[in-house]
């Protein structure tokens, strides 16, 4: 965020007044923020939290959560994005404020459907778990009191009386360890996870929970509160959505992809039509490979497929003239004659390239947009195969692409856990024979760029796809955080315009 010096002073005064709002770096987010913020700040805070949650998702699937690598990488990201990363810090008011406000903005954006709620809840839980476990014992105690979760510690006499039962019912606890640790008497409803896993001693409707397991209770409590809050927020959505400034922002955030804009590429014209078949096998993500195959087989794609695939091809470098030739050649091999193509389809292709209508230069779709909106119906080939295909059909497709059985199992497990982009990353690793792709996949055109970079040892990328390199560079600077939010605004505008554009695609 950029503030002028006067604004900074005013902000500092405000900050002083509000500091007591955040006695801890860790929050249960019980009270929504009440201060006024600009739309620009609203968007920038939300984008940063979205970036953080995407990293949380990625790390959660790639590493075991208790490992040092997981913790180090997550701390690095929290520092980089300026969120509270160590609960001991006394002077992180700005970070705490950002944490608070951004959580509530994404709560609004991600309460809109069951899928979104589930995703948001999972990432927020993982983030909370990491932060809570990073607290020292005394800070944990303080936080529990602050969150009204101050459970009653049992007396030494009672502990001695129950020590055999506590030792037998608490896995990993010897008699001496029982004597060392504090045990808390917790209502059964709060300890249901421990009870289910038979990891706690129960007596007279109370669970006797050792301090080291208290995170399970706290997380359980947090999950319940956040689920309820999301359901309540969803109910109040109609009134929020009636605000015409917020509605497009929230809609866009829930489909939001945080990364470079692939609409304007320096690689335009660097790809020949003859290369596309080979590229579709080597460097296209599954969604685009699927669309390309369907187009070659049936010499036609319906409107959703033409939009998704057409904009992707534009993003990888097809010029307007090439696009017109490519689609026409294929369509006239089917049921559409040249005249019908020129009248019915050429206009929409020119429109995609900003040469008709409002002359908007349309942006290729991000993974989030493909995954979250416009699911394919029968006869459609667009969408994300990891999200929209039946698992059995996906399995057969992966087998036909020679993915090894162990890889297919890993992909299907990720799909089952609704980690569609991570499943796609795994597909990338398996088809490119690398152990770790080293980037977080957000966009089909990013997949293509990274694939080309890998296959050509990085040389061609510099020459052909230098635009992507620029974005990488920008992403590493503070400037990029601001510049990243700008394409998002323009993406939001483009999304709105795309809806208008869809009217031009009435012909299937």
Sequence ranges of the binding site for [4Fe-4S] cluster: 287, 367, 384, 424
Compute the distance between CA of residue 35 and CA of residue 217 in angstroms, rounded to an integer.
Answer: 32
> Minimum CB separation from ligand SF4 for residue 308, in Å?
9
Shortest Cβ 237–ligand SF4 spacing (Å): 26
Closer residue to ligand SF4, CB minimum distance, 169 or 366: 366
By the 8 A CB rule, do 153 and 183 touch? yes
Q: How far is the CB of 285 from ligand SF4 (least distance, A)?
A: 3
For 6-45, the three-class secondary structure string (H helix, E strand, C coil) is HHHHHHHHHHHHHHHHCCCCCCCCCCCCCCCCCHHHHHHH
CA distance 448 to 423: 16
CB atoms within 10 A of CB 139: 16
Considering the complex, state which of residue 44 and residue 254 has its C-beta at the smaller distance from ligand SF4.
254
Distance, C-alpha 98 to centroid of its chain:
18
Cβ closest to ligand SF4, residue 210 vs residue 285: 285
Tokens for 92, please give them. 């992180």
Q: State the Cα–Cα distance between residues 158 and 377, nearest whole angstrom.
A: 63
Beta strands in 188-331 (DSSP E): 201-203, 206-210
Cβ closest to ligand SF4, residue 122 vs residue 421 = 421
Minimum CB distance to ligand SF4 smaller for 260 or for 285: 285
Rounded CA-CA distance 467/180 in Å is: 60
Identity of the residue, 194 or 371, whose beta carbon is nearer to ligand SF4 in the bound complex:
371
Minimal distance, residue 453 CB to ligand SF4, in Å: 16
Instruction: Give the Cα separation of 27 and 135 in Å (integer).
Output: 12
Type and span of the H or E element at 464: helix 459-464
- Angle among Cα 156, 144, 59 to the nearest 5 degrees reads 115
| Closer residue to ligand SF4 in complex, CB, 218/411 | 411
Residues interacting with ligand SF4, by CB under 6 A? Answer: 285-287, 367, 370-371, 384-386, 420-421, 424, 444, 447
Nearer to ligand SF4, 220 or 389 (CB): 389
Cα separations in angstroms, 103 against 25, 52, 264 = 13, 11, 32
User: Which contiguous run of DSSP H or E holds residue 185?
Assistant: strand 183-187
* 210 vs 383, beta carbon nearer ligand SF4: 383
CB 93 within 8 A of CB 149: no
CB 27 within 8 A of CB 99: yes
187 strand-pairing partners? 206
**Beta carbons within 8 Å of 185's beta carbon, 6+ residues apart:** 151, 152, 153, 154, 206, 207, 208
**CB contact at 8 A, 218 and 144:** yes
Handedness of CA 236, 238, 244, 249 (dihedral sign): positive
For the bound state, the minimum distance from the C-beta of residue 155 to ligand SF4, rounded and expressed in Å, comes to 55
Measured from the CB atom, the residue of 285 and 304 that comes closer to ligand SF4 is 285
Kind and range of the H or E run holding 473: helix 466-475
Question: What is the spatial distance between Cα 412 and Cα 410, in angstroms, rounded to a whole number?
Answer: 6
Task: State in angstroms the smallest separation of the CB of 420 from ligand SF4.
Answer: 5
């Amino acid at each position: 965020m950029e503030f002028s010096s006067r604004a900074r002073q005013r902000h500092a005064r405000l900050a002083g007044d509000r500091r007591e709002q955040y006695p801890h770096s860790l929050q249960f987010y019980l009270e929504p923020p009440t201060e006024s913020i600009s739309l620009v700040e609203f968007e920038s805070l939300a984008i940063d939290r979205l970036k953080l949650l995407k990293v949380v998702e990625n790390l959660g699937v790639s590493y075991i959560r208790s490992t040092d690598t997981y913790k180090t990488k997550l701390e690095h990201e929290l520092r980089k994005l300026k969120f509270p990363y160590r609960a001991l810090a006394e002077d992180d008011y700005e970070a705490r404020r950002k944490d608070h406000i951004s959580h509530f903005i994404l709560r609004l954006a991600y309460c809109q459907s069951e899928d979104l709620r589930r995703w948001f809840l999972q990432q927020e839980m993982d983030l909370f778990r990491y932060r809570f476990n990073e607290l020292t014992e005394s800070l944990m105690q303080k936080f529990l009191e602050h969150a009204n979760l101050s459970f009653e510690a049992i007396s030494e006499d009672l502990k001695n009386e129950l020590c055999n039962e506590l030792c037998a019912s608490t896995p990993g606890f010897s008699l001496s360890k029982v004597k060392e640790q504090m045990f808390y008497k917790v209502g059964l409803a709060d300890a249901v996870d421990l009870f289910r896993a038979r990891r706690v001693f129960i007596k007279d409707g109370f669970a006797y929970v050792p301090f080291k397991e208290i995170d399970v209770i706290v997380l359980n409590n947090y999950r319940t509160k956040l689920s309820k809050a999301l359901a309540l927020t969803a109910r109040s959505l109609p009134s929020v959505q009636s605000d015409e400034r917020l509605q497009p922002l929230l809609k866009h955030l829930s489909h939001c992809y945080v990364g470079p804009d692939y609409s304007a590429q320096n690689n335009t014209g660097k790809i020949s039509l003859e290369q596309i078949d080979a590229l579709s096998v080597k460097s296209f993500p599954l969604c685009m490979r699927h669309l390309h195959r369907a187009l070659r087989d049936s010499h036609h794609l319906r409107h959703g497929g033409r939009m998704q695939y057409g904009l992707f091809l534009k993003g990888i470098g097809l010029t307007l003239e090439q696009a017109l030739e490519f689609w026409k050649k294929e369509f006239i091999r089917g049921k559409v004659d040249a005249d019908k193509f020129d009248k019915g389809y050429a206009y929409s292709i020119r429109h995609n390239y900003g040469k008709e209508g409002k002359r908007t230069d349309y942006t290729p779709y991000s993974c989030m947009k493909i995954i979250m909106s416009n699911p394919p119906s029968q006869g459609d080939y667009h969408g994300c195969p990891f999200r929209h295909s039946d698992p059995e059909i996906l399995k057969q497709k992966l087998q036909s692409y020679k993915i090894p059985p162990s890889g297919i199992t890993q992909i299907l497990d990720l799909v089952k856990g609704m980690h569609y982009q991570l499943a796609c990353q795994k597909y990338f690793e398996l088809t490119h024979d690398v152990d770790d792709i080293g980037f977080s996949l957000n966009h089909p055109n990013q997949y293509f760029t990274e694939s080309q970079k890998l296959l050509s040892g990085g040389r061609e990328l510099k020459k052909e796809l230098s635009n992507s390199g620029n974005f990488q560079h920008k992403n590493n600077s503070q400037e990029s955080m601001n510049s990243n939010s700008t394409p998002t605004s323009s993406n939001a505008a483009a999304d709105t315009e795309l809806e208008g554009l869809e009217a031009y695609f009435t012909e299937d």
